[in-house]
C-alpha cells in the first residue's frame, strides 16, 4: 500500500463519526517534520507531547508516531519534484489526524504551496488559530492579556485556490481582451473601466457553501465558550469587494439568523430590540432613526427599507429575544478588515471569534500572534469533517534553521490543540501549565528573551525550552 514508508507495527486508527474523531488509547498519528526550522521544532514538540501523555496517563495512553514526508525531505526520499508524495496523502487519509511542521513555498514561481494543497485536498475548511496570552510573555503591547481571540479562517478558497495567469501569457492576454471587450461593457456598473494589457490576472472565488460551512463551525465553537466570549465577528472588505467579501458577510448573517436563530442575535438586531426595551412606545420610524446613522438624509426608498427591517426584527424575534433575552445569545457582528486590525490593538477585549476569508485570516492571525508574544506562540489547526491537520501559524523561518534556537512554542501549542481535539485534555493541560511556568520563570528562547525587561541572556535553546516545559509539569 505504501511505496517508501511503513506505519508503526503497534497502534490503532482514529476514525470519524458525525465530524468528530473517535480516538483509541494507542492512536497512530502521522507527522511531517517540515522544512527549515522544522528540523529543530519537531523533535522538541514530539518530546513534550510524549512526556505529557506519559505523565498524564502513566502508560495507559500512548501516541504511535508515523513519520511521513512532504517538502524538501520528500524530494530526498522520493526523488526530484516529489514534494507531496501519494504515500503522504494515503497516510493522512487513513489515519485522520496529522501534525506538521512548516513547508517552504517559493515566491513568484515554482511549486504552489504544499500547506495550502493539504488543506484543499482534505477539505480542511476551517483554519483555527487561537491567540491568547501566557502570563509573563513579553509583548510590544501594554495589555496583551486583554487579547483572547480565535481566528476562524476559511481555508479552501479565495485567492488561495491559486487560479491566476502570469502577465504576457496567451491566456492572460485572451482573458483581458474578453473582459475589456465583452464582459465589462456588458455590465453597466463597471462603466468604461479597462484592465491594463500588461496585467497578471488572479481569480478570487468566494462561495456561499465555503463561507457558510466556516461560519457554522465558528458559531458552534462560540456556543462552547463561556458566556462573555460568545461572540462571532465576520471580518470582510465588503465595501470594496461587494460580491465576494460583502457576500461572505451576508451569507454569514443569513446562516446565523436561520440555522442558529434561537442561539444568535446580530448586532443590529440588538440595537433595535434594546431601543424598544428602553422606550416601549417608540415608533418603527423612531427606532429606525436610532439604528441607522444619517437616516433623515436617506431617500424615501431607503428609509422604507430600514423601517421594514426594524418591523421584521420586532415581529420575528421580540418574543424570543426581546426584554433583554438577546443578552444571553451569541452576538454576531461584522467589521471591515482594515478596521479589525486596529480594533484588536485598541479594543482587544471586545472580540472573541473572528470569522474570516482565507487571505484576511492569514494576515490577521500573524498580527494577533504578534500582540500576544510573536509567531513563536501562534498555534493552529486545519479542521474538516473527516480529517484534521495541526500546524503552527508561522513558516519555515529559514535563517534560524538547524541552529537549535527557534521557539518551538507554536508547534507544541498546535500539539495541545491536537490533544484537546482528541479529548486528551489532561495531557494538553500539563503542556499549557509547563509553557506558562517556563515563561513566568524567564526560561525562554531568543524571541521572547529579547523582549523581556530586563532581557534574558543567554536565552534557552529550542531543545532546552522543550525540557523546561517538561520540568514544570510537576510544579
Ligand atoms: N504553514 C506553513 O507551513 C507556512 C509556511 N510559510 C513559508 O515559510 C517560508 C518562510 O516565510 P517567512 O515569510 O519568512 O515567515 P516565517 O513565519 O517563516 O518567519 C518570519 C519571521 O517570524 C519569526 N518566527 C517565525 N517562526 C518563529 C518561531 N517558531 N519562533 C520565533 N519566531 C519565529 C522570525 O522572526 P525573527 O527572525 O525576527 O526572530 C522569522 O524570521 C516561506 O516559504 C513561506 O511560504 C509561511 C507561513 C506558513
Ligand atoms: O503556505 C505557505 O507558504 C504560506 C501559508 C501561510 O502563510 C499561512 O497559512 O498562514
Ligand atoms: Mg500566514
Nearest Cα residue to 472 out of 434, 439, 445, 441: 434
Question: What are the b/e assignments for 88-98, b being 16+ CB within 10 Å?
Answer: bbbbbeebbbb
Q: Take atom 3 of ligand 2 and give the residue whose Cα is closest.
A: 105
Q: Give CA torsion, residues 91, 95, 96, 99, to 10 deg.
A: -70
Q: What would the grid cell of residue 416 be?
A: 495541545
Q: Quick one: residue 442, left, alpha or beta (phi over 0 = left, psi -120 to 50 = alpha)? A: left
Q: What is the pLDDT along the chain (475 residues), one digit of tens a residue?
A: 899 999 999 999 999 999 999 999 999 999 999 999 999 999 999 999 999 999 999 999 999 999 999 999 999 999 999 999 999 999 999 999 999 999 999 999 899 999 999 999 999 999 999 999 988 898 889 899 999 999 999 999 999 999 999 999 999 999 999 999 999 999 999 999 999 999 999 999 999 999 999 999 999 999 999 999 999 999 999 999 999 999 999 999 999 999 999 999 999 999 999 999 999 999 999 999 999 999 999 999 999 999 999 999 999 999 999 999 999 999 999 999 999 999 999 999 999 999 999 999 999 999 999 999 999 999 999 999 999 999 999 999 999 999 999 999 999 999 999 999 999 999 999 999 999 999 999 999 999 999 998 999 999 999 999 999 999 998 8
1-125+384-475 has which CATH code?
3.40.718.10
Residue 376 CB less than 6 A away from ligand 1:
yes
Nearest Cα residue to 37 out of 399, 418, 465: 399
Alpha carbons 457 and 468: distance in angstroms, whole number: 16
Alpha carbons 412 and 379: distance in angstroms, whole number: 8
Residue 370 C-beta-side C-alpha neighbours within 13 Å = 10
Handedness of CA 81, 384, 146, 237 (dihedral sign): positive
Alpha carbons 243 and 169: distance in angstroms, whole number: 27
* CB-neighbour burial class of residue 229 (10 A; exposed 0-12, middle 13-18, buried 19+): middle
Domain chopping of the chain, boundaries: 1-125+384-475, 164-202
Q: Are 149 and 354 in contact (CB under 8 A)?
A: yes
Q: Take atom 24 of ligand 1 and give the residue whose Cα is closest.
A: 375
Tell me how far the alpha carbon of residue 33 lies from the centroid of ligand 1, in angstroms.
15
Nearest Cα residue to 234 out of 251, 220, 221: 251
* Atom nearest to 103 CA in ligand 2: 3
Cis ω for the linkage preceding 288 (within 30 of 0): no
Q: Which residues line ligand 2 (CB under 6 A)?
A: 105, 113, 115-116, 362, 393, 395
Q: What would the grid cell of residue 428 be?
A: 494538553
Q: Are 118 and 124 in contact (CB under 8 A)?
A: yes
3-state secondary structure 212-261: HHHHHHHHHHHHCCCHHHCEEEEEECCCCCHHHHHHHHHHHHHHHCCCCC
Question: What are the b/e assignments for 131-146, b being 16+ CB within 10 Å?
Answer: bbbbebbbbebeebbb
CB atoms within 10 A of CB 110: 9
pLDDT value of residue 140: 85
Task: Give the residue numbers marked as catalytic.
Answer: 160, 237, 338, 362
* Atom nearest to 366 CA in ligand 1: 17
pLDDT value of residue 135: 86
> What size, in residues, is the chain?
475
Alpha carbons 73 and 91: distance in angstroms, whole number: 16
Ligand nearest, relative to CA of residue 154: 2
CB atoms within 10 A of CB 52: 27
* Atom nearest to 113 CA in ligand 2: 1
pLDDT value of residue 134: 87
ipTM (interface pTM) = 0.99
- Show Cβ contacts of residue 192 under 8 Å, excluding neighbours closer than 6 positions: none
Is 67 among the annotated ligand-binding positions?
A: no
Alpha carbons 316 and 261: distance in angstroms, whole number: 10
Q: Take atom 38 of ligand 1 and give the residue whose Cα is closest.
A: 447
pLDDT value of residue 441: 96
Q: Is 143 helix (H, G, I), strand (E, B) or coil?
A: coil
The bridge status of strand 97-100 relative to strand 28-32 is parallel
Amino acid at each position: 500500500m505504501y511505496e517508501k514508508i511503513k506505519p508503526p507495527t503497534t497502534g490503532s486508527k482514529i476514525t470519524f463519526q458525525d465530524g468528530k474523531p473517535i480516538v483509541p488509547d494507542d492512536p497512530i498519528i502521522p507527522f511531517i517534520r517540515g522544512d527549515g526550522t522544522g528540523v529543530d521544532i519537531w523533535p522538541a514538540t514530539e518530546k513534550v507531547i510524549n512526556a505529557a501523555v506519559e505523565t498524564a496517563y502513566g502508560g495507559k495512553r500512548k501516541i504511535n508516531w508515523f513519520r511521513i514526508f512532504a517538502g524538501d525531505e520528500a524530494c530526498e526520499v522520493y526523488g526530484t519534484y516529489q514534494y507531496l508524495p501519494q504515500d503522504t496523502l494515503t497516510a493522512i487519509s487513513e489515519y485522520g489526524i496529522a501534525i506538521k511542521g512548516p513547508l517552504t513555498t517559493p515566491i513568484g514561481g515554482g511549486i504552489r504551496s504544499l500547506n495550502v494543497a493539504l488543506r484543499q485536498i482534505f477539505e480542511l475548511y476551517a483554519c483555527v488559530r487561537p491567540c491568547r496570552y501566557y502570563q509573563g510573555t513579553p509583548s510590544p503591547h501594554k495589555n496583551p492579556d486583554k487579547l483572547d481571540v480565535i481566528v476562524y479562517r476559511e481555508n479552501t478558497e479565495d485567492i488561495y485556490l491559486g487560479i491566476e495567469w502570469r502577465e504576457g501569457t496567451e491566456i492572460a492576454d485572451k482573458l483581458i481582451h474578453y473582459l475589456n471587450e465583452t464582459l465589462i461593457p456588458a455590465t453597466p456598473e463597471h462603466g468604461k473601466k479597462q484592465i491594463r494589457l500588461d496585467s497578471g490576472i488572479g481569480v478570487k472565488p468566494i462561495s456561499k457553501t465555503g463561507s457558510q460551512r466556516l461560519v457554522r463551525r465558528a458559531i458552534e465553537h462560540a456556543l462552547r465558550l463561556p458566556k462573555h466570549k460568545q461572540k462571532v465577528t465576520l471580518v470582510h472588505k465588503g465595501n470594496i469587494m461587494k460580491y465576494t467579501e460583502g457576500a461572505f458577510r451576508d451569507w454569514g448573517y443569513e446562516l446565523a439568523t436561520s440555522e442558529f436563530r434561537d442561539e444568535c442575535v446580530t448586532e443590529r438586531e440588538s440595537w433595535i430590540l434594546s431601543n424598544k426595551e428602553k422606550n416601549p412606545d417608540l415608533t418603527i420610524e423612531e427606532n429606525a432613526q436610532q439604528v441607522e446613522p444619517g437616516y433623515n438624509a436617506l431617500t424615501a426608498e431607503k428609509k422604507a427599507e430600514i423601517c421594514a427591517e426594524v418591523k421584521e426584527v420586532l415581529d420575528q424575534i421580540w418574543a424570543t429575544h426581546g426584554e433583554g433575552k438577546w443578552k444571553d445569545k451569541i452576538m454576531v457582528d461584522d467589521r471591515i478588515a482594515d478596521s479589525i486590525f486596529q480594533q484588536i490593538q485598541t479594543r482587544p477585549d471586545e472580540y472573541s471569534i473572528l470569522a474570516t476569508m482565507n487571505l484576511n485570516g492569514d494576515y490577521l492571525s500573524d498580527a494577533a500572534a504578534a500582540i500576544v508574544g510573536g509567531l513563536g506562540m501562534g498555534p493552529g489547526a486545519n479542521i474538516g469533517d473527516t480529517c484534521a491537520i495541526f500546524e503552527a501559524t508561522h513558516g519555515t523561518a529559514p535563517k534560524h534553521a538547524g541552529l537549535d534556537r527557534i521557539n518551538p512554542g507554536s508547534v507544541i501549542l498546535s500539539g495541545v490543540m491536537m490533544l484537546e481535539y482528541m479529548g486528551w485534555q489532561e495531557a494538553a493541560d500539563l503542556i499549557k501549565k509547563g509553557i506558562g511556568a517556563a515563561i513566568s520563570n524567564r526560561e525562554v528562547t531568543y524571541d521572547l528573551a529579547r523582549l523581556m525587561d530586563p532581557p534574558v541572556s543567554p536565552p534557552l535553546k529550542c531543545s532546552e525550552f522543550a525540557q523546561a516545559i517538561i520540568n514544570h509539569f510537576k510544579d
